[in-house]
Amino acid sequence: MTAETEGALRAHLLRSDRQEDICLATYRPSTGTTRRTSLLRQVHLPEPGEREVHGNATITGDYVLRVAAAAASAGDGVVLLHSHPGGQGWQAMSGPDVDTESSYANLVREITGLPLVGMTLAGHDGAWSARHWDHSAAADITPTYSENVRVLGPELRVTWNDQIVPVPGRPSTLIRSVASWGPSRHADLTRRSVLVVGLGSVGLDIAVRLAATGITRLGLMDFDTIKLHNLDRLIGATATDAWLRRSKLDLAQRLAAQNATASSPVIDSFDLSICEPHGLAAALDYDQIICCVDRPWPRAVLNLLAYRDYIPVIDGGIAIDVFADGSGMRNATWRSHVLYPSRPCMSCIGQLDLGAIAADQSGALDDPAYITGNGQPPGAAAGGDTPAESANVAVLSVSAAASLLAQYVSLNVAPGGLGEPGPLQYLLSTHTLDHLKAARRPACPVEALTGFGDQAIRMTGPHPAAEHERQYRDSHSLHPGLRIARYLDTTLSWTRARLIADAKRRLGL
Ligand SMILES: [Zn+2]
């Protein structure tokens, strides 16, 4: 849910007389490959006579019918929320809780076609807990408990169901990291999954640093192949990678695995574009996304996702401005910002030209004639490598990565109680950092789809460039000599990975 929705719920559910209270809201599903999320959309407070507060709060059937009918007409589901005024952390269900929710579960599902969602707010520390009442053939229906509840504002706040997602172990390698933000914050931070989309110089650096921080579940997505002209920026890539047509994904997976400090890190690799349906579905399984792509189409997909599916997207990039005659650098600019409902979208802050999406989808941005005619493509450049992308150098791409990671820390750790700072811009020529005052456009077509989840357009489709790259790397298309060299290289990498695993075991990590 958004922090705004949470504010409305807290105002109703946390009473000054310390009694528990109850209300209803509506939600929409947002479905990924393995995860389903319910996006809270609208709070429907009880009208006079629709609920009674007498120690335990109860609601009338008419109230449920009224909200279920409103939900059904909008294609939404129903959420039943109540408070435990003295509660702390993820809440277990009391007998009356189970009775109330189970008694309305079938009725609500009949009317809306969607399972009832039950939620509890713990008054002591503001922790949320949630469950879905799915259809069950058994007479006694039991809820499916959620793994977490996320509240999205300047600070991303997450309550964990420790039974499903246990507190991760803390190896001695992480002593300095834990000391920076405390053990409980570390246990929370490292369980928050992160997907890095685009593994050029900026994305690769970010992925490796997240792995080193102990992030338990890290996703990596890129379809591109390492080329010779990447070697001056992809730190860790070698001439062998370009020669053997290795993917940027392989490189990032290798380096992230080598640097991972979590006890049991899970690093998922997606040889996909976020513009492909499977790429987007995979993204919907993550708690947050870092956008390191500079093409308009993938940026538009991620921009929409941030609002439509309530997944914060940390976005930014670097642009190097050179004199037209090629005689030198005029300036370099790196920007970073977090996209989510209540912040302006990429388009509103001038980091995405909606008009260029069609050109990208048609492949026109790969056409040298288009590039010559239009100069740089619109949007931020995050260290990519196709001819259409901006120039970038290794000594500066690290600044763009740092800027994005600082936004990540602010969003997740909130130093000094402050969350993400809004859009930032750093100008190299004068070394000035600007807080940009970008406003949301009243009629922004992206923000209009806030919380629409599965019901909104997806903007995905077949991606010929991704298909071409995957084919180019396919071993069947390789010369036999290259195939043998690739096999040897893989064996070397495998041996090194085994050695690292053995060292960790011997060191008790
Ligand atoms: Zn917008």
Judging by beta carbons within 10 Å of its beta carbon (0-12, 13-18, 19+), is residue 66 exposed, middle or buried? Answer: middle
Tell me the C-alpha distance between 469 and 509, whole Å: 38
Q: How far apart are CA 301 and CA 459, in angstroms?
A: 6
What's the pLDDT at 475? 72
DSSP H or E stretch at residue 336: strand 329-339
C-alpha distances (whole Å) from 57 to each of 17, 19, 52, 83, 480 are 13, 8, 6, 9, 73
Tell me how far the alpha carbon of residue 441 lies from the centroid of ligand 1, in angstroms. 6
List 58's β-bridge partners, or say none. 52
Taking the centre of ligand 1 as the mean of its atom positions, its distance from the CA of residue 346, in whole angstroms, is: 6
> In sequence order, what are the residues at sequence separation of 6 or more whose Cβ sits closer than 8 angstroms to the Cβ of residue 306?
289, 312, 313, 339, 340, 341, 345
Residue 427 CA, ligand 1 centroid: distance in Å: 24
pLDDT tens by residue, 65-89: 999 999 999 999 999 999 999 999 9
> Ligand 1 centre and the CA of 334: distance in Å?
20
Contacts of 448 (CB under 8 A, 6+ apart): none
6: phi then psi, degrees, rounded to nearest 5: -60, -40
307 CA → ligand 1 middle, Å: 9
* Residue 338 backbone dihedrals phi, psi, to 5 degrees: -115, 130
- What the block records as the tokens of 431 is 């070394």
Residue 439 Cα to ligand 1 middle (Å): 9
| Ligand 1: centre distance to CA 420 (Å) | 18
The answer to whether 165 touches 129, Cβ cutoff 8 Å, is no
Give the distance (Å) from ligand 1 centre to CA of residue 119.
31
Instruction: Indicate the SS3 state at residue 447.
Output: helix
Distances (CA, A) of 154 to 284, 291, 418: 20, 18, 8
What lies within 8 Å, CB to CB, of 145 at 6+ separation is 129, 130, 131, 161, 163, 164
For ion ligand 1, residues whose CB falls within 5 Å: 345, 347-348, 444, 446-447
Please list the rounded mean pLDDT of every run of 10 residues in the chain (509 residues).
97 93 97 97 95 87 96 96 95 90 92 96 96 77 92 97 92 87 93 97 97 97 95 93 95 96 94 97 98 95 97 95 90 96 92 88 72 40 42 91 98 96 96 91 90 92 94 84 92 93 90
If you measure from the C-alpha of residue 158 to the centroid of ligand 1, how many angstroms do you get, rounded to a whole number? 26
The predicted pLDDT at position 376 comes to: 43
Task: Count CB-CB contacts under 10 A for residue 367.
Answer: 14
Residue 441: what pLDDT? 84
241-272 pLDDT, tens digit per residue, is: 999 999 999 999 999 999 999 988 999 999 99
The Å distance, Cα 296 to ligand 1 centre, comes to: 14
The Å distance, Cα 504 to ligand 1 centre, comes to: 47
In degrees to the nearest 10, what's the CA dihedral of 212, 218, 223, 227?
A: 0
Q: How many angstroms separate the alpha carbon of residue 345 from the centre of ligand 1?
A: 4
Q: How many Cα atoms occupy the beta-carbon half-sphere of 463 within 13 Å?
A: 26
**Burial (CB count <10 Å: 0-12, 13-18, 19+), residue 205:** buried
Q: How many CB atoms lie within 10 A of CB 495?
A: 10
318 CA from centroid of ligand 1 (Å): 21
Per-residue confidence (pLDDT) for residue 230, from 0 to 100: 92
Q: How far is the CA of 72 from the centre of ligand 1 (A)?
A: 28
The predicted structure's pLDDT at residue 365: 80
